[in-house]
Amino acid sequence: MKLVRYGQPGREKAGILDRDARVRDLSGVHPDISAETLARDVLDELRSIDPETLPLVDATERIGPCVSDVSKVVCIGLNYRDHANETGKPIPSEPVLFMKATTSISGPYDDVVLPKDAEKGDWEVELGLVIGEKAQYVAEADWQRYVAGYCVVNDVSERAFQVERGGQWVKGKSSDTFCPLGPWLVTPEEIADPQALALTAEVSGEIMQEGSTRDMIFNCAEIVSYVSRFMTLLPGDVIATGTPAGVGFARNRFLKPGDTMRLSVAGLGEQRQRVVAHEDRIR
């Protein structure tokens, strides 16, 4: 099942994809894809609905972030060996955790806005885990019970803010539009093995990242268990599980206004974004 949110920012409604990948209006059943929608009994109810019986959504409608009311976005840094190597960092002995502000969340096709004084905008294609049940001290063997679905995440970064301005990474990760989510929230029965998914990122027509989730240093089970030891995960929370090699920071190639990005994770759809300057956005 592929769930989607459509409509203008702040007014999105729930949708579901039909067999032809068209969006159908689900808002008559549930108004939004929110924490309540991610409960197991609600998802089971939605699986029983034939999308072909629901109204077709106009194809010109904006697609929003695939889940609403996210309480936190938790990110795993340096979780691919090749990415750690390209940054010159040691291989972590435990998962590296950092956060993105929830105000950074945007739709999968919305513009990515480089913030004021930005110098080194960067891309990172990642597998996102969307939490469906309150999670504390989760055993690795039980991790899937707590995950309602998967999505594509672009962990957009401003490397000068992140690396050169002191302090923690969060300020280089949290500008508005720096966390495109979606296009879909894909429920687990559609993904046979989340540790065997190809990831790709293309910038202005050039392939920058090609990897697989099989190359994670810490897999999904380890990540959910580990994060839940240090904070309570709530329904709707998103964990971005890390990115493979090929980021701009390692290439000395950074985002500039006019660039385009295309990011995909196998089975989870494709994001497409245009990069714009802060000054152009506020005119």
- Tell me what percent of the residues of the chain surpass a pLDDT of 90: 93
Query: Sheet containing 206-212: which strands, arranged edge to edge?
Result: 112-114, 270-277, 260-265, 198-203, 206-212
pLDDT at 216 over 90: yes
Mean pLDDT over 24-41 rounds to 97
**pLDDT tens for each residue of 106-165:** 999 999 999 999 999 999 999 999 999 999 999 999 999 999 999 999 999 999 999 888
* Fold (CATH) for 70-281: Fumarylacetoacetate hydrolase; domain 2 (3.90.850)
- The pLDDT score that the predictor gives to residue 281 is 64
Predicted model pTM: 0.96
Closest to 106 (Cα-Cα) out of 5, 158, 181, 156: 181
For 225, the token pair is 């268990």
Write out the E strands in the chain: 2-6, 13-17, 23-25, 73-77, 96-100, 105-106, 112-114, 121-122, 125-131, 147-154, 157-158, 179-180, 185-186, 198-203, 206-212, 238-240, 260-265, 270-277
Reading the block at residue 198, the tokens are 């190809």
**What are the sequence ranges of the domains in the chain?**
70-281
| Confidence at 237, pLDDT banded by 50, 70, 90 | very high
Q: What is the mean pLDDT of residues 192-200?
A: 98
Residue-wise pLDDT for 70-97, tens only, equals: 999 999 999 999 998 898 889 999 999 9
Q: Please tell me which of 75-89, 221-235, 268-282 the model is most confident about, judged by mean pLDDT.
A: 221-235
Percentage of the chain beyond pLDDT 70 is 99
The average confidence (pLDDT) of the chain is: 96
Amino acid 283: pLDDT: 47
Residue 23 clears pLDDT 90, i.e. is over it: yes
As a residue count, the chain comes to 283
Count CB-CB contacts under 10 A for residue 250.
16
**Strand partners of residue 4:** 15
pLDDT digits (tens, 9 = 90+) for 178-192: 999 999 999 999 999
- Residue 278 has what pLDDT? 87
pLDDT digit string (tens) for 52-76?
999 999 999 999 999 999 999 999 9
